[in-house]
Amino acid sequence: MSAAAPITELGERSLLPEGTTFNDVTEAVCRVTETKAPRGWWILFLPSVGLLGLMVACIGYLVTMGVGVWGNNSPNYWAWDITNFVWWIGIGHAGTLISAILFLFRQNWRTSINRFAEAMTVFAVLCASIFPALHTGRPWFDYYLFPIPNQMAMWPNFKSPLMWDVFAVNTYLTISVIFWYVGLIPDLATLRDRSKSLLRKRIYGALALGWRGSHRHWQHYERGYLIFAAISTPLVLSVHSVVSFDFATSVMPGWHTTIFPPYFVAGAVFSGFALVLTLMLIVRAVFGLHNLVTLKHLDLMNKFMLATGIMVGYAYALEFFIAWYSGNPYESWVFFHNRLGFGYLDEMGNWGPLWWSYWAMVSCNVISPQLFWFKRIRTSIPAMFVITIFINIGMWFERFVIIVTSLYRDFLPGSWGSFEATWVDIALYLGTFGLFMTLFLLFVRWIPMFAIAEIKATLPHAHPHAEHHDDEHEHAHDHGAEVAPAPAE
Amino acid sequence: MADDTKDDDKPRKKSTLLGVGAPSAEEIAADAAAKAEAAADDAKASERLAERAAREAADDEKHVPSKVTKAAAGEAEAAADEAEVDAVKARTSAEVAKDAAKKAAKAAAKGDEAAAAAESKKALEASERAAEASKAAKAASAQAIEAQKKADAARISHVGEGEPEKRPALYLAEYESPEALAEAAKKVRDAGYEKWDCHTPYPVHGLDDAMGLPPTKLGFVSFIAGMVGLVSAVLMIQYMNNWDYPIIIGGKPTGIGAFPSMVPIMFELTILLTGFGTLFGILHFAKLPRHHHPIFESDRFEAATDDKFFISIEVGDQKFDMKKTRALLESTEPSYLELVEEEIG
């Protein structure tokens, strides 16, 4: 974080408004947890709890009746459930990317959004894990997934990509929670020290572990934070790669491609950024945090979405190219008939009936982010709000397209079908939004949603400069020397 | 005062020696009764002393409430209660002895030698019991006095420091800016202190050098934990899918024989255990969680997690000196300087 100072020669300015003091940051962040919830919070919270109730009811119904209440049926044994799983896991990836990868690249602007995004990671992974857990059919036997002795004296098959998924997702959840909590310790101490009531002091005090800002602790803490970032970076890349192995290691045309791991990771980051931004815009308006999340932050996030959107678009294009270039009729069938709805017609002269889902995906994911080339769009809050929602929808369709359109018109007469979602599919998906939003709103309300200590460390006067800090000219010179070779310290 | 009574008690006890010659049963009984009476009186005196000690210890506790005085007062009171019970026992035994002596005298007057002898034996036994009870009362009283002395000592040691239940723990100096803190840290480092610390709302860079801290060893812990994860993944898969219950599909082995399929789980477990190793490593090196620290006694210190910068020097440091350390910290021009005291016990 030694590159905290803006490079004035390049026209960079401070991330936060000039003259922001340490106390301003503390006040702005802590105030949210110390004052009454604004009306907007309740307007969001009550429907969220309602949706959470819907989720619980759906799970109860599904467990009682069996997975047949979903629309999954031959040939679509995977459908909304796995779509939702992959979608939610992908949402989580933005959090780790922001907290870990941007940390390693010393992108200080991340400090305004990382806590927020990390919380989303944890909640999104929780939502995601519901679907495969239910999809096993008898969720009360889900402990077979773990390598623990059971009454059949059988161990899991570690050659199965689904087993890798169990390990990847659980590791991801665990490490995300630890990373999040370690980052929270100093900020919980801040809340503890500001507490007026004994109860608050006790709760935040217990969670803060007796943190006293000791530099002897900071020294280990910072190294630990670096290690967490260093292990989370390959972890986040591995998780969606492993998720993509669920598809890529099969021999299904449409799934069996080597491009899947990077393509899935890019898509995950893309969708995650979109949801972070959607929620960020809402929370920023509800709690009036415009000084902590500035247009500059939003602009940078939009650039990220533009970049990852292009990567995703490239992957879509390349899949088609390979389908054509390989000369493999089955591969071409899946892409041109099942998805694109062009070129390959069936014997009745029809296109695949779900062609529209492919086009929904392309228009949301590839076309709509192109608007971010324009600075006016990148800095327009209504525009970016709409585009992020489009991206969220598009990324859901991406997983739907990959899963369902590869399966619904297969190569045996018995594998010729279509897919229709049932009300349980829809209600359970909506219900997981209830879980996500309930947890998220509770987090926003009770836990510092910005990394207070990290934001303070990025303020221009946060670190003692070299000897001559009285002399303005020398001072500017120091900055230049300090900033240029970033890893110098 | 307490010591005097102890010494006074001793010579009286020696009076249990029997007289010369061959005394009659009546005489023996009378003698025993007298001794029992004396023992009961002694026990009563012990009881009074114990009670007084307990009262004084309670008084100490009231003036200087602390764990030490509280414990001492409790001890003194318990001992006083014991002494009281013993005194009652001694008095009862004395009554029995007196009664027996009277009966012995009557029997002797009637010329019933056997009855007189029996009564005299009873009186002797009762007297013995009284003596024992008296001894116990004395011991209890000594205990009470001992406890009271402790309470006194605890009280006296606190008088003259203003707030008697506390003792100095550390000096706390507050600074407005990270620059001032870093300058001050260098001075403290150069003065050779070891048990001292900087407290900042965020990690201030350059303080490692300013404080002269050696580099952290956390990386080793994380690395070893990660390697444990890697090895345990290999062993787990090899054991479960190859040794204990071989899963052979299409004639192909699982485990090390199919190495690439192990890689994802090897990787995940490495990451998982590195994460745990790092978390517990941080907690270990930082000696957290620790919810009680004398530094929290200072109200000013609450700003350490907001916008102020602090240096603390602990009393336990070899070089700590009330005056010199204060002078050193004053020379660094802190915006505030405080001697933080901690509660004892």
Could you tell me which residues are beta bridge partners of residue B175? B309
Burial label, B116 (beta-carbon count in 10 A; 0-12, 13-18, 19+): buried
Give B339's DSSP letter.
E
Complete edge-to-edge strand list for the sheet that includes strand B309-314: B196-199, B309-314, B166-175, B336-343
pLDDT tens string B78-94? 888 888 888 888 888 88
Burial B188-220 (b: 16+ CB within 10 A, else e): bbeeebeebbbbbbbbbbbbbebbeeeebebee
Give B216's DSSP letter.
P
Cβ-defined contact of B290 to A216 (cutoff 8 Å): no
Torsion angle of alpha carbons A213, A216, A222, A227, nearest 10°?
-140
| Helix, strand or coil, per DSSP, at residue A259 | coil
What pLDDT score does A121 carry? 92
Cβ-defined contact of B219 to A235 (cutoff 8 Å): no
What pLDDT score does A8 carry? 61
Q: How high is the ipTM of this complex?
A: 0.88
- Interface-testing mutation among A16, A96, A159, with chain B (most B C-beta atoms within 10 A): A159
Tell me how many helices (H) and strands (E) chain A has. 17, 0
What pLDDT score does B164 carry? 55
Specify whether the CB–CB gap between B187 and B328 falls below 8 A.
yes
Please report how the helices A381-407 and A260-287 are oriented relative to each other, as an axis angle in degrees rounded to 10.
150
Does A19 contact chain B (CB < 8 Å)?
no
Separation in Å, CA of A318 to nearest CA in chain B: 26
Q: Is the pLDDT of residue B2 over 80?
A: no
Give A486's DSSP letter.
G
The residue count for chain B: 345
Q: How many CB atoms lie within 10 A of CB A16?
A: 23
Please report how the helices B25-63 and B67-110 are oriented relative to each other, as an axis angle in degrees rounded to 10.
170
Of A216, A222, A224, the CB nearest to B281: A224
Specify whether the CB–CB gap between A336 and A269 falls below 8 A.
no
Residues 6+ apart with CB under 8 A from A322: A257, A259, A331
Cβ-defined contact of A22 to B306 (cutoff 8 Å): yes
| Helix, strand or coil, per DSSP, at residue A76 | strand
Q: How far apart are CA A14 and CA A20, in angstroms?
A: 10
Q: How far apart are CA A208 and CA A206, in angstroms?
A: 6
The residue count for chain A: 489
Cβ-defined contact of A227 to B286 (cutoff 8 Å): no
Does A96 contact chain B (CB < 8 Å)?
no
Burial label, A401 (beta-carbon count in 10 A; 0-12, 13-18, 19+): buried
Residue of B267, B269, B265, B273 lying closest to B221 (CA atoms): B273
Tokens of A85: 């799983």
Task: Give mean pLDDT, residues B217-229.
Answer: 95
What pLDDT score does B319 carry? 85
Q: How far apart are CA A463 and CA A5, in angstroms?
A: 10
Tokens of B178: 């990270």
Of B237, B244, B282, the CB nearest to A220: B282
Give A256's DSSP letter.
-
Q: How far apart are CA B200 and CA B95, in angstroms?
A: 76
Cβ-defined contact of A153 to B262 (cutoff 8 Å): no
Q: How far apart are CA B206 and CA A244, in angstroms?
A: 44
To the nearest whole number, what is the mean pLDDT of chain B?
84
Separation in Å, CA of A448 to nearest CA in chain B: 13
Among chain A residues, the shortest Cα distance to B215 is held by A219
Give B337's DSSP letter.
E
**C-alpha B116 chain-centroid distance:** 58
Give B174's DSSP letter.
E
Residue of A456, A454, A449 lying closest to A22 (CA atoms): A456
Q: How far apart are CA A30 and CA B197, in angstroms?
A: 26
Chain B residues inside the 8 Å CB shell of A168: 264, 268
Chain B residues inside the 8 Å CB shell of A231: 226, 271, 274-275, 278
Does B248 contact chain A (CB < 8 Å)?
no
Torsion angle of alpha carbons A261, A266, A267, A273, nearest 10°?
140
Specify whether the CB–CB gap between B254 and B240 falls below 8 A.
no
Q: Is the pLDDT of residue B61 over 50?
A: yes
Higher-pLDDT residue of A412 and B220 is: B220
pLDDT tens string B322-333? 888 899 999 988
Specify whether the CB–CB gap between A43 and A464 falls below 8 A.
no
Tokens of B163: 């707030």
Determine phi and psi for B332, rounding to 5 degrees: -90, 5
Specify whether the CB–CB gap between A237 and B267 falls below 8 A.
no
- Strand (E) or helix (H) holding B341: strand B336-343
Among chain A residues, the shortest Cα distance to B287 is held by A217
Query: Which residue type sits at A3?
Result: A
**C-alpha A35 chain-centroid distance:** 29
Apex B124 CA angle, B118 and B126, nearest 5: 105
Chain A residues inside the 8 Å CB shell of B182: 464
Tell me how many helices (H) and strands (E) chain B has. 9, 4
Q: How far apart are CA B67 and CA B53, in angstroms?
A: 18
> Which whole-number Å values give the CA distances from A370 to A234, A305, A359, B42, in the listed order?
29, 9, 16, 104
Give B246's DSSP letter.
-
Q: How far apart are CA A481 and CA B169, in angstroms?
A: 43
Specify whether the CB–CB gap between A394 and A361 falls below 8 A.
yes
- Strand (E) or helix (H) holding A297: helix A295-325
Please state whether B206 falls in left (phi above 0), alpha (psi between -120 and 50) or beta. Answer: left
> Which residues 396-455 of chain A have a CB within 8 Å of chain B?
452-454
pLDDT tens string B140-164? 888 888 888 887 777 666 654 545 5
Largest CA distance in chain A: 83
Specify whether the CB–CB gap between A388 and A417 falls below 8 A.
no
- What pTM was estimated for this model as a whole? 0.75
Higher-pLDDT residue of B21 and B342 is: B342
Q: How far apart are CA A108 and CA A463, in angstroms?
A: 14
Beta strands in B128-219 (DSSP E): 166-175, 196-199
Does A42 contact chain B (CB < 8 Å)?
no
Cβ-defined contact of B271 to A212 (cutoff 8 Å): no
Burial label, A368 (beta-carbon count in 10 A; 0-12, 13-18, 19+): buried
Residue of B58, B61, B84, B211 lying closest to B140 (CA atoms): B84
Specify whether the CB–CB gap between B168 and B341 falls below 8 A.
yes
Residue of B216, B198, B218 lying closest to B207 (CA atoms): B198
Beta strand B336-343 with B196-199 is unpaired
> Which whole-number Å values give the CA distances from B197 to B170, B295, B302, in the listed order?
11, 11, 16
Q: How far apart are CA B86 and CA B44, in angstroms?
A: 9
Torsion angle of alpha carbons A97, A101, A103, A105, nearest 10°?
-140
- Strand (E) or helix (H) holding B332: none
Q: How far apart are CA B81 and CA B74, in angstroms?
A: 11
Of A2, A147, A216, the CB nearest to B236: A147
Does B203 contact chain A (CB < 8 Å)?
yes
Could you tell me which residues are beta bridge partners of residue B171? B313, B339
Tokens of A482: 């300090």
Tell me which residue has tokens 């477990």.
Answer: B269
Specify whether the CB–CB gap between B61 and B151 falls below 8 A.
yes
Does B291 contact chain A (CB < 8 Å)?
yes
Residue of B290, B95, B281 lying closest to A223 (CA atoms): B281
pLDDT tens for chain A, 489 residues long, are 334 555 566 555 666 777 788 888 888 888 888 888 888 899 999 999 999 999 999 999 999 999 999 988 888 889 899 999 999 999 888 888 888 888 888 888 888 888 888 999 999 999 999 999 999 989 999 998 899 988 888 899 898 999 999 999 999 999 999 999 999 999 999 999 998 889 999 999 999 999 999 999 999 999 999 999 999 999 999 999 999 999 999 888 889 989 999 999 999 989 989 998 998 898 888 887 787 788 888 998 999 999 999 999 999 999 989 999 999 888 888 888 888 887 777 777 777 888 899 999 999 999 999 999 999 999 999 999 999 999 999 999 999 999 998 888 888 888 888 888 999 999 999 999 999 999 999 998 999 988 899 888 888 888 886 444 444 444 444 444 333 333 333
What pLDDT score does A464 carry? 82
Cα dihedral A67, A70, A74, A78 sign: negative
| Helix, strand or coil, per DSSP, at residue B205 | coil
- Cβ-Cβ pairs closer than 8 A, A with B, add up to 210
